[in-house]
Amino acid sequence: MRKILHSDADCFYAAVEMRDFPQYRGIPLAVGGSADGRGVIATCNYEARAYGVHSAMSSARALRLCPHLTLVRGRMDVYKTVSRQIFDIYRRYTDLIEPLSLDEAFMDVSHSTACQGSATRMAEAIRAQVLAEVGLTVSIGVASNKFLAKIASDWNKPDGLKVILPQEVEAFVHDLPVSKLHGVGKRTAEKLHAQGLFTCGDIRKLSLQTMLERFGSFGQRLHELAHGRDERPVKVSRERKSISTEHTYREDLPDLAACQDRLPELIEDLTARYARLQGYRIQGALVKVKFADFTQTTVEHSHPKPDDALFEQLLQEGWARRAMPVRLLGVGYRLQQPGEGAPTQLKLFE
């Protein structure tokens, strides 16, 4: 039986700002870009969330919902430093750590001897040490797999701890909404709801064969999660699958020609970012287009050496899907590690 922790700092960027600047405490606060341009909220505190403000929302809309919202620019260098302090604490308990972001990680403590091997006590100790040494709160979920641990960490936020014991798994997942399942987004949830599947208990009434017939290979994954099963290991090294850059423009780009004019600078930035990576090969190119109505599309093509002409082709194809003003453009590479999927030279003689 594995022992998995999922730790998530509470409103991380905003929490760092409130820690460093006491005048921000107790008032609606958000970290993000300027509302005068096309700024977006990176994160916000719970006082702001009470007004409906949330991450990925435009700063302009956030200020309409909460006119007295305090909006501050992010300090990424500071956040990275704080993140390293938090992860140093995690490493006191295990080396099996899978970072998901600066403030979020899975930890496998199955074989850790800390706290006499008690995962619950380790979680309690981590929370106490992060608060004492870093001045922030983290919420932690404790369970036998990654799926359950991640759900548990969000159960008692902020500054929460939720433990799902092995004997509690059946009862816990039975009434769990399907929207909580790993890999289920808004559209998939709608498809499940249309077939009368609202909870894991509803899925468990169906056989695996029925789930496969209705949802293809993903049906097996849904069936496993609905029974509380998740065999994914904690991955210490996360392989990068892509690298990209994008830009939100202060004023919409009116037509394809205007988008084409912006493409070279994006490609130049992407090339510079890729040059800083080590151990990855390019296996494809992609272009992302977000239109003035906030709909977006991504076009990609497999190619080991994409050039400007390929990006131009992908941009034309993406823009043609809506043929309207554009607020954001992005370009990227699909990546592959050396040796991954590469052909192997066979021996001439056995």
The C-alpha angle 203, 209, 213, rounded to 5 degrees, equals 90
Round to whole Å and give the CA distance between 90 and 12. Answer: 16
DSSP H or E segment with residue 281: strand 281-291
- Tokens read off for 245: 């850059």
Query: φ, ψ for residue 291 (rounded to 5)?
Result: -90, 175
Catalytic residue among 104, 168, 170, 300: 104
Using DSSP bridges, classify how beta strands 326-336 and 242-253 pair: parallel, antiparallel or unpaired.
antiparallel
8 known ligand binder: yes
Round to whole Å and give the CA distance between 325 and 291. Answer: 6
Q: Name residue, tokens 């998901």.
A: 100
Round to whole Å and give the CA distance between 61 and 248. Answer: 16
Instruction: Please name the amino acid found at residue 198.
Output: F
Report how far apart the first and last C-alpha atoms of the chain are (Å, whole number): 42
Q: Identify the CA nearest to 308 among candidates 270, 251, 344.
A: 270
103 known ligand binder: yes
> Half-sphere exposure of 58 toward its Cβ, with a 13 Å CA cutoff?
15
- Tokens read off for 133: 């040494």
Round to whole Å and give the CA distance between 169 and 224. Answer: 13
Has 239 been annotated as catalytic?
no
Strand partners, 329: 247, 289
Radius of gyration of the chain (CA): 23
Residues 6+ apart with CB under 8 A from 266: 245, 246, 247, 329, 330, 331
Q: Which residues are identified as catalytic?
A: 104
Which residues belong to the annotated binding site? 8, 103
Binding residues for Mg(2+): 8, 103
